[in-house]
Amino acid sequence: MIKTKTIRFEDMMAEAMKDPKVKAEYDKLAPEFALASTMIKARAEAGLTQAQLAEKAGITQAQVARIEGGQWPQPKTLTKIANALGKTPRLEFV
């Protein structure tokens, strides 16, 4: 029987972030994942599935899944999603 060791995600990330190259690549992706995370949170707060959000926004469930996976949407699509969630989209340069 093969024994496996379980490692918590947080511990694995902390260890990986010690490598400057890994951290630099992770930081490059932060904006993409920030949008996805914000959208997932708003959808969950609205109590909607991906399919329900897609229907309300007039887009496909596949589009919702791609955006939640980190793909950037067109501004028009982002506006549709925000409206379906009762939100206003906002882009900021910080």
Question: Would 39 be classed as within a structural domain?
Answer: yes
Q: How far apart are CA 24 and CA 52, in angstroms?
A: 36
Task: Print the domain residue range for 77.
Answer: 10-84
Q: Is the pLDDT confidence value at 40 over 90?
A: yes
**Neighbour-count burial of 90, counting CB atoms closer than 10 A to its CB (0-12 exposed, 13-18 middle, 19+ buried):** exposed
Q: How many domains does the chain have?
A: 1
* Domain presence at residue 2: no
> What tens digit of pLDDT does each residue of 24-34 get?
998 988 877 88
Does the residue 35 lie in any domain? yes
Q: What whole-number distance in Å separates Cα of residue 54 and Cα of residue 63?
A: 8
Instruction: Please check whether residue 92 lies inside any domain of the structure.
Output: no
| Residue 5 placed within a domain | no
pTM: 0.72
Domain of residue 32, CATH code? 1.10.260.40
Residue written as token pair 């093969």: 2
Packing angle between helix 61-68 and helix 20-45, nearest 10 degrees?
Answer: 140
Evaluate whether residue 1 is within a structural domain.
no
> What band does 93 get if pLDDT is binned at 50, 70 and 90?
confident
